[in-house]
Amino acid sequence: MVAVIRPETSQERIDHLITWLKDKGLDVHISVGAFQVVLGLIGDTSQIDVDMLRSLDIVESVAQLSDPFKACNRKFHPEDSIIETLDSAIGGGHFAVIAGPCSVETKTQITFVAEEVKKAGATHLRGGAFKPRTSPYDFQGLGAEGLDLLLEAKKVTGLPIVTEIMDIRSLALFEHVDIIQVGARNTQNYDLLKELGKTGKPILLKRGLAGTIKELLMSAEYIMASGNEQIILCERGIRTYESTYTRNTLDISAVPVLKKLTHLPVVVDPSHATGKAELVASMAYASVAAGADGIMIEVHNDPSCALCDGPQSLTPVQFAPIVEKMHKIREAIK
């Protein structure tokens, strides 16, 4: 249930109402916008006499919410959420360009790529240290050493870093990581999500390999229900019958759908969505035109020798003009 408070209501009266609602056993999600305060009520709202609530002079309107996702629902929080890390922000008009290799491989590699993507206009550096590979015989990432190298690249460039967690037991290693990624294979690992909900860290939550939009939002809800509201959603392509010419199928329509349903920022990863370097630019442009709050692109110093995802990785030289064009598209659709 959502209760919209009349403009210019005193804080004291709002607090009084909140206390009354909490005494009824409800969780109250408070969203303070530029023009109005919205109270999102989570729990057994059958305790509440809707007509009575509606009749209060400080209440402008009350609406029942049938969606199963509450805290991430735009009806609970009409304004865009903004996720801030160091000097960068995502959402609410702040556009993120997250770039870097699939995997951190060596100190020279990650530092070189970090400096190059920064020069090209990246706002965040990505790089996997713990890699969820389909085959146990493939490179699994450098683990803790990879995180250290990523942190060194952060020190050199000042870019906030994004990297994937696979096991909550490694959480302590992520202390200086700015945004923790939950990969497509873990989107519905609810125990992991609940634990990440207890951290104060921004989470980049990818859509599952065959996940619906509702399932993605319910996964975000798991993190939020545990207390962490700093989530960035990531569309990274879904499994369809096509797998010959593209690795996954990029669901561009997920961008406007998510932007309507939730206040959380939405970024798109055209690298995993297509699996092909030659398709990354056009899908990045399409995503920006569809209203994405950011793009995540795999960039490698030498894609042909990459230990992971070389065929979909761009060189820094290929990456730089794409950033420029994305900004032009953003201007054009303003």
Residues at the interface with ligand PEP (CB under 6 A)? 102, 128, 132, 183-185, 206, 236, 272
309 binds Mn ion (CB under 5 A): yes
132 contacts which partner out of ligand PEP, Mn ion, none, CB within 5 to 8 A by kind? ligand PEP
d(CA 96, CA 105): 24
Query: Measured at CB, which residue is nearest to Mn ion?
Result: 102
Name the residue among 78, 89, 73 with its Cα closest to residue 34. 78
The minimum distance between CB 52 and Mn ion, in angstroms, equals 54
CB of 126 to ligand PEP, least distance (A): 7
Choose between 235 and 309: whose C-beta lies nearer to Mn ion: 309
Window 91 to 120, contacts with Mn ion (CB under 5 A): 102
| Partner whose binding site includes residue 201, from Mn ion, ligand PEP, none (CB under 5 to 8 Å by kind) | none
CB of 138 to Mn ion, least distance (A): 12
For the bound state, the minimum distance from the C-beta of residue 219 to ligand PEP, rounded and expressed in Å, comes to: 13
In whole angstroms, how close is the CB of 107 to Mn ion at the nearest point?
20
Name the amino acid, one letter, at 313: S
- Measured from the CB atom, the residue of 102 and 216 that comes closer to Mn ion is 102
Q: Are 196 and 174 in contact (CB under 8 A)?
A: no
Residue 218 or 232: the one with the smaller Cβ distance to Mn ion is: 232
Report the SS3 class of residue 118. Answer: helix
Per partner kind, with CB cut-offs from 5 to 8 A, the member of ligand PEP, Mn ion, none near residue 184 is ligand PEP
DSSP-derived letter for residue 143 is T
Query: In sequence order, what are the beta bridge partners of 85?
Result: 88
Quote the least distance from Cβ 39 to ligand PEP, whole Å.
35
Comparing CB distances to ligand PEP, the nearer of 92 and 143 is 143
289 φ/ψ angles, rounded to the nearest 5 degrees: -60, -30
Minimum gap (Å) between residue 309 Cβ and ligand PEP: 7
Specify whether the CB–CB gap between 166 and 183 falls below 8 A: yes
Q: Name the residue number minimizing CB distance to ligand PEP.
A: 183
Question: Residue 186's closest CA among 146, 121, 128?
Answer: 128
Between 40 and 127, name the residue whose CB sits nearer to Mn ion: 127
- Cα separation, 256 vs 229, whole angstroms: 21
Residue 37 or 125 with smaller CB distance to Mn ion: 125
The residues, any chain, with a CB within 8 Å of residue 119's CB and separated by 6 or more, are 316, 320
Stretch near Mn ion under the rule CB under 5 A, chosen from 77-85, 160-168, 193-201, 305-313: 305-313
Nearer to ligand PEP, 185 or 239 (CB): 185
Alpha carbon distance 171, 22 (integer Å): 33
Beta strands, E only, the chain: 2-5, 27-32, 37-42, 59-63, 83-85, 88-90, 96-100, 124-126, 161-164, 179-182, 203-206, 231-235, 266-268, 294-298
- 227, 197 in Cβ contact below 8 A? yes
Contact set with Mn ion (CB under 5 A): 102, 309
